[in-house]
Amino acid sequence: MSSNVRDEALSPGSPLLNKTAVVTGASRGIGRAIALRLGRMGASVAICARKRADIEHTAASFRQEGIRALPIVADVTVAGDVERLIERTSAEFGEIEVLVNNAGIGLFGSFYERSESDWDAVLDTNLKAVFLASRAVAARMIRSGGGHIINISSLASKSAFSGGAIYCASKWGLMGLTACMAEDLRAHGVRVSVICPGSVNTEFSPHAGRPPATLLQPEDVAHAVATLLTQSPESFISEIDLRPLKKV
């Protein structure tokens, strides 16, 4: 798509124009909504997921809106895949100003009934992947003197519930990782923030039959990301708790 068409598709006040963003787990659901919002704000967006057909379909739909989208197949639990994701994005779009660590999975059930492989899958995806991707962009952001890393956690990072041991462990760990990353990077002008949504209405939601009005929508999380990226230059919103207005 030509630059003229792209410019016409974006509002003159696009706050992320000429910026580069990476969103993990972006082929559907929350990740897709976040990536779409960033693209509509003017960013060139690299989106990654494990399934090529899914991520290419998502990128094609973005391009129809005039968004520069780069689909990359990557397993974010593998360091080599993450390095290739960051290198390819930088080569295509320039240095990365925004990283949204969204990829995540949930496996539920009594801890004594879960397997070691269940533990590894959840902790690798929800925690290790954030470490790998953030480490891959940190030095670049330090060199450029700024940037945003936004981690998508969950209100499960603050509440214990039956059957949630592995998932909660990953999200509680993510909160600690995020807070320490923020302290490591804030002196370099790099913000590290976390968003903790409640139950979100996606195709993977475990809340079948629950009234939609009592669930968040993926776009609500995307709006929170946009809020973090448009805060005043001297402020630092470190954490957002996000709940549906109506309770069950």
- Domain range list for the chain: 3-242
In the chain, alpha helices (H):
3-9, 29-40, 52-63, 79-93, 116-123, 129-144, 165-185, 218-229
| Between residues 66 and 11, the one the model is more confident about | 66
Closest CA to 221 of 71, 43, 49, 101: 101
For the annotated catalytic residues, the residue numbers are: 167
Report yes or no on whether pTM surpasses 0.85.
yes
- Confidence bin at 204 (pLDDT 50/70/90): low
State which fold the 3-242 domain adopts.
Answer: Rossmann fold (3.40.50)
Cβ–Cβ under 8 Å, residues 183 and 131:
no
- Confidence bin at 169 (pLDDT 50/70/90): very high
